[in-house]
Amino acid sequence: MDNGEVPNFTIQDIPEDRHEDIVDFMTTHFCRDEATCRSVGFLEDPESVLELQNLWRDVLKQNMALVAFVENEEDEHRPRISGCNITCVTTKDEKLTYEQVSPDKILYKITITIVSNIRLRILDRKMRKFVTMNDINS
């Protein structure tokens, strides 16, 4: 902390009334700071951002995520979010097929591989724009 004190944290399940705060927190921090998201310009692709936000909303409904609040520190009369861990439950029977993760399909399955596939879709869209621009210039 600015005053040299070591903060205390409360770690708990994410309350339902804070789900949108968590989505905003993840969009602001994860999408900005995570190496692959940063390198592909994730935040510059509104379609991918919305897709990942909707994924987080769906996953949060499972109540399998944790949040760390800074004790005695509030933003707008609510405990300030310091971090979170969003996890979900899948079963071994939930298998992704190429059709579910191909660039022209909307990703909806809740699995760890979705984030990687979203990144691939961003790259695919960027490559399509690049190829289209090169075709025009030829």
CA atoms within 13 A on the CB side of 133: 6
Q: Which domains does the chain have, with CATH numbers?
A: 9-137 (3.40.630.30)
Which run of H or E residues covers position 80?
strand 78-85
Q: What residue type is assigned to position 136 of the chain?
A: I
With 60 as the cut, is the pLDDT of residue 134 above it? no
Contact criterion met (CB below 8 Å) for 12 and 81? no
What's the pLDDT tens digit per position in 99-114?
544 444 433 333 334 4
With 90 as the cut, is the pLDDT of residue 131 above it? no
What's the pLDDT tens digit per position in 48-92?
888 889 889 988 999 999 999 998 877 778 899 999 998 877 776
Q: What is the pTM of this model?
A: 0.66
With 70 as the cut, is the pLDDT of residue 30 above it? yes
